[in-house]
Chains A and B, each alone.
Chain A
């Protein structure tokens, strides 16, 4: 089973920042926090990952709480093309580092 908890859905206005939360209270010290997204009728796409420090890339930022029990994916300026299901996944030793998918958060972008 997935070891993360995410809201089922969120709405945001186009061109505004979006903060997608994820809880992972059972995280252990060597677990990586990964985010993927799946656009409609497409394969999953990597977004970002991190271990302890906040991370930035061209797609998004990942803010990791100091106790690592939660994280937030930040899309700085959402566009209609960012409408997708966003998955927060722990890659951990218990699951042999496999991606164990939950239901994710369906992000709806309003024009």
Chain B
């Protein structure tokens, strides 16, 4: 069964450093998403991406965040200058429709720890 893969599974970084989280979505999907989950809290939407551009972003997704699909297969989330409060699980997801008729497939997540 096709799956979404994420790397790294866990990254520890110092505050102020840049971090790139990588995702390989399911190959024929067109819609890509990043979510995050702070330990013990709800899953939060960060950004959606379609046709090589951001289609929607939440208030959390400020100027320190960026997404890119550099080579047609990978989908990356960059955090430019990490803060302590960026520590969370980051989940990538992909789907083949936008309006709710289909499912999203999630990766296992990348745990980011900012010290």
A43, A91, A96: the one within 8 Å of B109 (CB): A43
Which residues on B sit within 8 Å (CB–CB) of A92?
A: 100
Q: Which of B101, B105, B106, B108 has the most CB of A within 10 A?
A: B106
How many interface residues does A have (CB within 8 Å)? 22
Segment of A13-21, A44-52, A60-68, A71-79 engaged in the interface with chain B: A44-52
How many interface residues does B have (CB within 8 Å)? 21
Q: How far is the CA of A96 from the CA of B48 in the complex (A)?
A: 10
A97 touches B100 (CB 8 A): yes
Which residues on B sit within 8 Å (CB–CB) of A101?
A: 42-45
Chain B contacts with A in 56-115, Cβ cutoff 8 A: 56, 91, 93, 98-101, 103-109
Nearest A residue (CB) for B3: A43
Q: How far is the CA of A16 from the CA of B58 in the complex (A)?
A: 40
Count of A-B contacts judged by CB separation below 8 Å: 50
Q: How far is the CA of A103 from the CA of B37 in the complex (A)?
A: 12
Question: Min CB distance, A81 to chain B, in Å?
Answer: 16
B91 touches A43 (CB 8 A): yes
Nearest A residue (CB) for B102: A49
Interface residues of B (CB under 8 A from A): 4, 35, 42-45, 48, 56, 91, 93, 98-101, 103-109
For the A-B complex with A46-B103, A49-B100, A101-B44 known, give 11 more contacts whose Cβ atoms are closer than 8 Å: A43-B106, A43-B107, A45-B106, A46-B105, A91-B99, A96-B56, A98-B56, A99-B35, A101-B43, A101-B45, A103-B42
Interface residues of A (CB under 8 A from B): 31-32, 34, 36, 38, 42-46, 49, 87, 91-92, 96-103
